[in-house]
Structures are given as structure tokens and as C-alpha cells.
């Protein structure tokens, strides 16, 4: 009996794949997925700053034949050019992702998230990378006052889309993957609540606050499908549910005392994934929304497929499909 065709094999077979920030939560999970036999990639190249984390990743992956790790900083464009030599598909996941850390370290936030991303885009062009996906966040959408993390990610999105102009005569194309909070990722509220549970009290910022949620497995497959689908200039946004923070707290620690400490600088009561300004340029692809660029001066194949969303639509965690405690517990099963 003939073997069924696997689209992953066709797209990824024999490819050299790169990941910036490879030792982070997404980078690690993405590496484990792409090194599975069905993708059949030829090489996985990663760049990150800590050799200790790279040693940990080598042991976790156990594939020294295909894994190539570079110690380096995305602010060093020469190091990036060296690391990306021969890479065909690149996921740019390196960033300072903490709202408080960016607020207290503004120059580092701008330098790493802003200039660092520009360096990645330029080095990818110089190295002849075919496709680049830049990881973004719902916090990039109309960032709240004081949220420097969201502001830097908004800049990254704009620069990524516009960088297609600089490679119009070359093969490199750029797109964005924008999504919400990853359940259990480092620095997220889930590990915080789990630690606080041991002390007998959880702290929340506001009882009506809502957030979008995505599992790490869903995030990995969303990034992979975005890479496979992109033509250049798109912002891909997944279909995500949301919940109140109080519901999450109850799912992790039922009946435990909850203290309200107030909204922190740069936080919103509700996150927004798509705005009315983007809605006229957005198509629902079934597996995700595709936000098309306002101008496409670099040309290329036309975007195909998808249904228009309402012209004044707002994709907000306040109105998205709500998760209950049982559903959240299912998503949290490996953490709590």
C-alpha cells in the first residue's frame, strides 16, 4: 500500500531551520517538534545567549547530528550572519517578553526587541533565508500606556511587514505570528499562581481582567502552519479562547484566598488581538485570521482563501469564547 503524502514532509524535508532564542519556552518546544522524524529536516540552527541553557537543550533534544547551537546576541549582526548561513526557514523568537522587565530596563527592551529584530531581518536577507516568521504578542495591539514590551512588539510587527520591500528582488519573505498568553510558559501567571498556592493566598490585579490562552503545543503548530502558509507581509492570528483571571485562579487553587493588588503599569483590563483598523484587511482562514498589509509594494503572488470578518470587528479577550474551570484544568493538567 502506498504511503500517504504528509504535507510536513513535502515542505520541511531536507530543510535547514533556524530559531533565535532557541533555549526559551517556545524555542525549546519548537525544536522538539521539528526534530521529529516526520519533518525530516536536515539541520536545526539556534542562537541564544546562555551556554548553560544550550547544554540543557542539547541533553533534552539528544540529536547532536542535526543540532547546531551558536552562543550569540541578536544585537550582534555579524554573529547572526554567521549563524544563519545556509538557513532556509527562520523563526525569530528571541526577545525580552516581560512587561515589568521592559518597563524597568527600557534601553535594553528597545535594543533587543527593536534593533535586535532589525538585525535578524537584515541578516536573514543577507544570508538568503527563504522565509522568516517573527513571533509577536497580543500586547502589540494598541499597547497600553507604559507597556514598553507591547510598544516594541508593535514596532517589530511593522518593521517585519515593511522589510519585504527590502527583499523584493530577492527570495526572502517575512511574516508575523501574533498570539496570546502561553499556558505555563516562563514568567507567566500560571507558575506564579502555583508558587503562591503553597503560601495559602493568590494575588490578582483586577477581578474582571481577562486574557487569551494558548497551550505550548498549539503555539508550536500555529507557528509551523504560519510558516507553511505565508507569502510575505501577513500577520497571522489564531482562534483563541479567553478566561477571567479569577477563573484561572479558581482552577489552580479552588477556594483559596485571593487578594486584589491593582492593575500594574502597562497592563490592560482586556487584551485585543485584532482592532477595527485591521478588520477590513483581515480574512478568516478557518485555522487562523490573516491580516494583510495596507500596501504590498514588493509584489508577489496574491493572497488566496479566507472569508472577510465584519468591518468594525474587535477581537477581544472580553468577548472571545470563555473557558470554564474544567476546561482550564485540562489545559493546565501538566502543570498543576
Half-sphere exposure in the Cβ direction for 28 (13 Å, CA):
14
pLDDT (0 to 100) of residue 4: 41
Q: Which residues are catalytic?
A: 139
* 200 within a domain of the structure (yes/no): no
Q: Considering its fold, how many domains does the chain have in total?
A: 1
pLDDT at 334 over 80: no
Judge whether residue 8 has pLDDT over 70.
Answer: no
Domain assignment present for residue 197? The answer is no
pLDDT tens, residue by residue, 67-108: 999 999 999 999 999 999 999 999 999 999 998 899 999 999
State percent of the chain over pLDDT 90.
Answer: 87
Cα 52 versus chain centre, distance? 23
CATH number of the domain at 291, please. Answer: 3.40.50.720
Distance of CA 93 to the CA centre of its chain: 7
Q: Please give the Cα distance from 128 to 66 (Å, whole number).
A: 20
Please state whether the predicted TM-score (pTM) of the whole model is above 0.85.
Answer: yes
pLDDT number for residue 177: 98
In a domain? residue 48: yes
Q: What is the pLDDT of residue 227?
A: 98
Each residue's pLDDT tens digit, 286-302: 999 999 999 999 998 99
Cα Rg of the chain, angstroms: 20
- Which residues face 71 on adjacent strands? 48
Q: Is 146 left (phi over 0), alpha (psi -120 to 50) or beta?
A: left
Task: For residue 195, tell me if it sits in a domain.
Answer: no
Query: Does any domain span residue 91?
Result: yes
Chain centre distance of CA 83: 21
Query: 174 lies in a domain?
Result: yes
> What is the spatial distance between Cα 41 and Cα 12, in angstroms, rounded to a whole number?
6
CA distance 174 to 231: 8
Q: Is residue 135 part of a domain?
A: yes
What's residue 65's pLDDT?
Answer: 96
Residue 145 — pLDDT band, cuts 50, 70, 90?
confident
Give residue 35's domain range. 12-179+215-238+276-314
Amino acid at each position: 500500500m502506498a504511503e500517504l503524502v504528509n504535507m510536513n514532509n513535502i515542505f520541511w524535508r531536507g530543510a535547514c531551520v533556524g530559531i533565535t532564542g532557541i533555549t526559551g519556552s517556545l524555542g525549546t518546544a519548537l525544536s522538539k517538534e521539528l526534530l521529529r522524524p516526520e519533518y525530516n529536516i536536515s539541520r536545526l540552527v539556534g542562537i541564544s545567549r546562555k551556554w548553560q541553557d544550550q547544554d540543557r537543550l542539547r541533553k533534552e533534544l539528544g540529536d547532536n547530528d542535526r543540532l547546531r547551537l551558536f552562543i550569540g546576541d541578536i544585537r550582534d549582526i555579524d554573529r547572526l550572519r554567521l549563524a544563519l548561513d545556509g538557513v532556509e526557514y527562520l523563526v525569530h523568537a528571541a526577545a525580552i517578553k516581560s512587561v515589568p522587565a521592559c518597563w524597568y530596563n527600557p534601553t535594553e527592551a528597545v535594543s533587543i526587541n527593536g534593533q535586535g529584530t532589525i538585525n535578524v531581518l537584515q541578516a536573514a536577507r543577507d544570508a538568503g533565508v527563504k522565509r522568516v516568521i517573527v513571533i509577536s504578542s497580543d500586547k502589540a495591539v494598541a499597547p497600553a500606556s507604559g507597556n514598553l514590551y507591547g510598544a516594541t512588539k508593535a514596532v517589530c510587527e511593522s518593521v517585519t511587514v515593511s522589510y519585504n520591500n527590502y527583499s523584493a528582488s530577492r527570495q526572502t519573505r517575512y511574516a508575523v505570528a501574533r498570539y496570546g498568553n502561553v499556558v505555563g510558559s516562563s514568567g507567566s501567571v500560571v507558575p506564579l499562581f502555583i508558587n503562591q498556592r503553597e503560601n495559602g493566598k493568590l494575588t490578582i490585579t483586577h477581578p474582571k481582567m481577562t486574557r487569551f490562552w494558548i497551550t505550548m503545543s498549539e503555539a508550536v503548530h500555529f507557528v509551523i502552519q504560519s510558516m507553511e502558509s505565508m507569502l510575505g507581509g501577513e500577520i497571522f492570528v489564531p482562534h483563541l479562547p479567553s478566561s477571567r483571571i479569577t477563573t484561572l485562579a479558581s482552577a489552580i487553587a479552588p477556594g483559596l484566598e485571593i487578594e486584589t493588588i491593582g492593575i500594574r503599569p502597562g497592563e490592560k483590563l482586556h487584551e485585543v488581538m485584532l482592532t477595527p483598523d485591521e478588520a477590513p484587511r483581515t480574512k478568516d482562514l478557518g485555522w487562523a485570521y490573516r491580516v494583510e498589509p495596507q500596501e504590498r509594494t514588493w509584489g508577489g503572488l496574491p493572497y488566496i482563501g479566507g472569508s472577510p470578518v465584519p468591518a468594525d470587528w474587535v477581537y477581544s479577550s472580553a468577548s472571545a469564547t470563555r473557558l470554564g474551570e474544567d476546561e482550564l484544568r485540562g489545559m493546565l493538567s501538566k502543570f498543576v
